[in-house]
């Protein structure tokens, strides 16, 4: 681009002494138009290349993200992620039903209390928050983050590659790109790693290693979504409960201290381009 501008300036300078004033104005106008045309073509090429990667026009994408809410600074590196879902521990409504949007007579109500759009579980919120603008129109998402909080303090996070996924399929071992402090998660086998999880026991967003009976089950994370679960380690005064390993590896679910609870499970998404700052 600099070479184009230099060439145009040199051309104008060389001809300025030989041309009448009107001819010089015409030449300047012509050269400026040529530079502007080259700039427009270069920008169009860049936009087209990006659209091929994201599969959508820039205008459509920016219009979509404008309804996503405000971005969060999840990792202290700038506000890049949008809150797609917040699960609240102990509210007595299914976190799975809220996430998939199954709002029938038996499902939880849409909760829009102001504090439900934050991640501090010590602030009043009596339900789960679902960002329909994101989850009902799953597109242009580069990354998904599952973040576990206790009273607003980030305790653990998982990052997933969202390319080629749906709002139900991104939570998988194949798409995991960063396992936070769980150093063994990528190297160990899992018998469950999905949002639906263990259907009969209603262990959702379930990442588990093996089932050996209640005393010997081991894994990394679960959203216990059942009022009367089968194992002592998942029985609490209310549901759902977000249970996770407090160490750097999987834990025996039955071992106190190794398994702890989060009061908020937040799901964030990061879009492909810079429209998130609008």
Residue at 177 is within a domain: yes
Structural tokens at position 175? 């798409």
Verify that 125 and 216 share a domain, yes or no: yes
**What's the confidence (pLDDT) of residue 273?**
73
- Residue count (the chain): 278
Verify that 77 and 34 share a domain, yes or no: no
Residue at 62 is within a domain: no
Verify that 156 and 257 share a domain, yes or no: yes
Q: How far is it, in rounded angstroms, from Cα 276 to Cα 278?
A: 6
Q: How far is it, in rounded angstroms, from Cα 226 to Cα 155?
A: 24
Within the chain, how many helices (H) and strands (E) appear?
5, 13
Verify that 189 and 220 share a domain, yes or no: yes
pLDDT tens digit at each of 278 positions of the chain? 444 444 444 444 444 454 555 555 556 556 656 665 565 456 445 544 443 333 344 445 455 567 899 999 999 999 999 999 999 999 999 999 999 986 544 544 555 789 999 999 999 999 999 999 999 999 999 999 999 999 999 999 999 999 999 999 999 999 999 999 999 999 999 999 999 999 999 999 999 999 989 999 999 999 999 999 999 999 999 999 999 999 999 999 999 889 999 999 999 999 997 554 43
Reported as a single tens digit per residue, the pLDDT across 171-199 is 999 999 999 999 999 999 999 999 999 99
Verify that 92 and 222 share a domain, yes or no: yes
Query: What Cα–Cα distance (Å) separates residue 222 from each residue in 181, 201, 233, 250, 262?
Result: 16, 11, 12, 12, 11
**What's the confidence (pLDDT) of residue 157?**
98
Residue at 138 is within a domain: yes
**What's the confidence (pLDDT) of residue 63?**
52
Output the DSSP codes for 85-102: EEEETTSSS-HHHHHHT-
Please return the burial class of 205, using the count of CB atoms within 10 Å of its CB with bins 0-12, 13-18 and 19+: buried
Q: How far is it, in rounded angstroms, from Cα 158 to Cα 117?
A: 20
Verify that 146 and 171 share a domain, yes or no: yes
Reported as a single tens digit per residue, the pLDDT across 31-48 is 656 665 565 456 445 544
């Amino acid at each position: 681009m600099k070479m184009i501008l230099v060439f145009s300036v040199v051309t104008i300078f060389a001809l300025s002494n030989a041309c009448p004033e009107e001819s010089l104005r015409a030449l300047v106008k012509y050269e400026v138009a040529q530079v502007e045309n080259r700039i427009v073509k270069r920008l169009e090429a860049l936009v087209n290349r990006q659209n091929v990667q994201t599969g959508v026009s820039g205008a459509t994408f920016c219009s979509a993200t404008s309804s996503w809410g405000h971005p969060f600074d999840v990792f202290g590196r700038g506000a890049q992620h949008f809150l797609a879902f917040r699960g609240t521990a102990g509210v007595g409504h299914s976190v799975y039903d809220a996430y998939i949007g199954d709002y029938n007579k038996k499902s939880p109500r849409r909760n829009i209390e102001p504090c439900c759009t934050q991640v501090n579980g010590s602030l009043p919120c009596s339900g789960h928050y679902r960002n329909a603008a994101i989850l009902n129109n799953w597109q242009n998402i580069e990354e998904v983050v599952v973040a576990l909080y206790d009273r607003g303090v980030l305790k653990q996070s998982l990052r997933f590659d969202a390319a080629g996924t749906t709002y139900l399929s991104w939570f998988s071992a194949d798409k995991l790109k960063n396992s936070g402090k769980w150093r063994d998660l990528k190297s160990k086998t899992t018998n469950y790693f999905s949002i639906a999880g263990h259907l009969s026991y209603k262990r959702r967003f379930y990442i588990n290693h093996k089932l050996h009976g209640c005393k010997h089950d081991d894994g990394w994370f679960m959203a216990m979504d059942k009022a009367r679960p089968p194992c002592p380690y998942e029985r609490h005064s209310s549901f759902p409960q977000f249970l996770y390993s407090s160490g750097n590896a999987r834990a025996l679910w039955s071992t106190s201290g190794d398994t702890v609870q989060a009061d908020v499970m937040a799901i964030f998404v990061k879009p492909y381009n810079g429209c998130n700052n609008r």
